[in-house]
Amino acid sequence: VTIVTPSLNQGCFLEQAILSVLQQDYPAIEYIVMDGGSSDGSVEIIRRYQDRLAYWVSEPDAGQSSAINKSFAHETGTILAWLNADDLLAPSAVSIAVHFLEAERDVGLVYGDRVEIDAKGNTIGYLRCPPHNPGMFRKGVTLPQETVFFRREVFETVGGLDEDLHFAMDLDLWCRIARVARMRHIPAFLACFRRHERSKSVVYDTTVGETRRGYHEERKLVMQRHFGRRSGACTKSNISPRHIPSRPGDRY
């Protein structure tokens, strides 16, 4: 299992994310940390654990999607996942995901339920997901990204993440994988999603102007691309890089 953590200036949360992976009980995890050139002490944190990492780097890059694609292209896991630097894997999450993927060979992607936590790690909510059905993405229902594990072969078949997308790249990936592989919901809490003032979701939910408009335009683009929605549709050329910062709030 190859797991990648992309990060930029998330030093206050990064060590917890790293430990949530390193403390998994699954014995064969290839763990990579891709730091985008942090200036907040993140590199010192990564160095503490470098002997337990398959690879790490800290240098400017082209954004989250690019960093994840680059990592998966050079590593060896047959099952892939990425965990953002402010989120956490639940204990045994990897073992549970692998168990379901090994038991159902025709399943290309599994996802679980989400615990929502705040900046201090307090539980503030839960998300129990529905079983997968072909129409859920058309209705705007996405998957809790931090709980998702998928086979390398399906990731490569669909061409990986779209590096032009900075927020809806996961929804776009799920839509493409759904066309070539079966998806399976695991009724277990596999990860914790952290809400804090600099998290990407909070930034887009609470800001106004170009940042918020850019998010909505990108999501409309993905829906138009996969489902041909005309309402509020936009084309790729409508999305200017200035509208969608690759690292809003210094968070991948």
pLDDT given for residue 192 in this prediction: 98
pLDDT given for residue 235 in this prediction: 34
Query: Rounded CA gap, 215 and 218, in Å?
Result: 5
User: Backbone phi, then psi, for 234, in 5-degree steps?
Assistant: -140, 165
Tens of pLDDT, residue by residue over 164-198, are 998 899 999 999 999 999 999 999 999 999 997 76
Return mean pLDDT, the chain.
Answer: 87
- DSSP-derived letter for residue 87 is -
pLDDT given for residue 214 in this prediction: 72
pLDDT given for residue 129 in this prediction: 96
- H helix runs in the chain, sequence order: 11-22, 42-48, 64-74, 93-103, 152-157, 169-178, 200-206, 210-227
Cβ(111)–Cβ(129) below 8 Å: yes
Confidence of residue 251 (pLDDT cuts 50, 70, 90): very low
Q: How confident is the model over 95-108, as a mean pLDDT?
A: 97
18, 21, 51 from 13: Cα distances, Å? 9, 13, 20
pTM of the full structure: 0.86
pLDDT given for residue 217 in this prediction: 87
More confident site: 223 or 248 = 223
pLDDT given for residue 91 in this prediction: 97
pLDDT given for residue 201 in this prediction: 54
Tens of pLDDT, residue by residue over 106-135, are 999 999 999 999 999 999 999 999 999 989
Query: Rounded CA gap, 107 and 184, in Å?
Result: 7
Residues in Cβ contact with 96 at an 8 Å cutoff, skipping those fewer than 6 apart: 112, 186, 188, 190
Tens of pLDDT, residue by residue over 55-95, are 999 998 888 999 999 999 988 999 999 999 999 999 999 99
